Amino acid sequence: MAPSPALRIGLMSRPPWSAGDVATRCTACGICVAECAFLREHGTPQALAASFDPRRQDQSHLPFGCSLCGLCRAVCPEGVDPAALFLAMRRATADAGTLQLSPYRGLLSYERAGTSRLFTWYGLPDGCRTIFFPGCALPGTRPRTTLKLFDLLRGNDPSLGMVLDCCTKPSHDLGRSGHFAAMFGEMKAYLLAQGVKTVLVACPNCHGVFSRYAPELEVVTVYEVLARADIGVARAAGGEVTVHDPCVSRDNAGVHAAVRTLLGAAGLRVREMPHHGARTLCCGEGGAVRCTAPRLAGAWTSLRAAEAGGSTTITYCAGCASFLGPHTPTSHVADLLFEPEAALAGRVKVASGPLTYLNRLLLKRRLRRTLPVASSRERTFRGDADGTRRPAGRSRAALVLLVLAVACAVALFILGSGMPGGSVFR
């Protein structure tokens, strides 16, 4: 099923600020430069907009050093959006054929697995009008927590459906517009055809993609739903935490407030970092910068860890939690809802690759066996970079090899140290 014309028009049209707009509206005041290591290294948005040529190989790498976090827009006194410019530059680089995909091979393989028949599953009960879309990272790292969230949400809506799939934001952010439009467009068309009206998301990246490219659907985070429902969250013994608002959620004041409401209900005080809410920082993972410019990505991580000052950091993005965790004590808010003391003490078992792939397969297997559905599917549609359809056989064979590798790794892990951490069967 091809993506809708509306999606293609919305995706392919010029961004809010074209290169000419930034070149003329940016006053080179330096406010955004002072906030961003990428701009400090490469210059003002005005200068970059005026000089960039996507056809030049020596310049093609430039926009991929920007994390696309949007802090530049948040602090700009003129209302200019340099992040939109750098995304447009990425798309222009892809269109010009100068985009080098080899540094992103691992990330794109992860995305390809997430949209494959092997890992996807759509389970829609009778009368389903709302689905839970947990994304890729949460089911892989925290499958039991994903199930608990789903069960909690189903308590208010027994017809709630579950969709295990990937929103393909990696391709979107790399400028692979045709592939993104094809993949996301096919998913959106299927959901609309099934009568789905509302999407509940756990991942801020998924929220951003659905909100922008599926305006026909109501998109709400599960944290807002839980905060409004006034659920009886487990209470911690008390204490102070700080909150890392993912950069893709900087404009979502509703989720900022909801997460803090949940933390308050758990008996915790929140100490805000200098950068939070609309002026939050990137964790370092944004825009896949770590693949080509790890030093620039690390600058964001170091700044966030410094602002946390050793306090336990609560976030609501599984990717941010994984990225910040090695640098400063970090927990996902969903962990806190169900295991507050363990979360605050850093004792929640969280899986990492390749066990995340196994967890996603086991979660799918569990749901297929236990969730009564009126309709279901595994996704077989594949889109090329230009948006054309291609057979999925070759990709499926590659994914089978991936699963075999995961199985071998798990077997070795079990023989060496017991059941994998974070497993749904632990």
* The predicted structure's pLDDT at residue 52: 87
- Percentage above 90 pLDDT, the chain: 75
Q: Is pLDDT of 387 > 60?
A: no
Q: Is the pLDDT score of 174 beyond 90?
A: yes
User: In this structure, what token pair is assigned to residue 190?
Assistant: 């299927």
Flag whether pLDDT at 5 surpasses 80.
Answer: no
Residue found under tokens 């014309």 = 5
Mean pLDDT, residues 324-329: 96
Mean pLDDT of the 364-388 span: 86
| Strand-by-strand arrangement of the 269-270 sheet | 269-270, 240-244, 313-315, 330-332
Mean pLDDT to the nearest integer, 75-99: 93
How far is Cα 199 from Cα 218, in angstroms, rounded to an integer? 6
- Model-level pTM? 0.89
Burial class (CB in 10 A: 0-12, 13-18, 19+), 370: exposed
In the DSSP assignment, the letter for residue 163 is E
**Domains of the chain: which residue ranges?**
5-100, 107-224+356-417, 227-344
From residue 175, give the alpha-carbon distance in Å to each of 63, 67, 180, 212, 266. 10, 13, 9, 16, 41
Beta strands in 91-237 (DSSP E): 121-124, 130-133, 161-164, 198-201, 218-221
Upper half-sphere CA count for residue 78 (Cβ side, 13 Å): 18
Q: Is 340 helix (H, G, I), strand (E, B) or coil?
A: helix
Q: Which of 198, 245, 200 is nearest to 224 (CA)?
A: 200
Q: Are 262 and 333 contacting, i.e. CB atoms less than 8 angstroms apart?
A: yes
pLDDT at res. 10: 44
User: Contacts by 389-396 with C-beta closer than 8 Å and gap 24+?
Assistant: 389/2, 389/182, 392/116, 392/117, 395/112, 395/116, 396/116, 396/117, 396/118
How do residues 207-257 score in pLDDT, each as one tens digit?
999 999 999 999 999 999 999 987 666 677 678 999 999 999 999 999 999
Average pLDDT across the chain, whole number: 88
In which band, very low, low, confident or very high, does the pLDDT at 20 lie, cut at 50, 70 and 90?
low
Residues 387-418: b if buried by 16+ CB within 10 A, e if exposed? beeeebeebeeebeebbeebeebbeebeeeee
What pLDDT does 383 receive?
80
- Strand pairing of 161-164 and 121-124? antiparallel
CA distances from 76 to 23, 208, 280, 287, 304 (A): 14, 21, 14, 20, 21
* pLDDT for position 23: 79
* pLDDT class of 56 with cuts at 50, 70, 90: confident
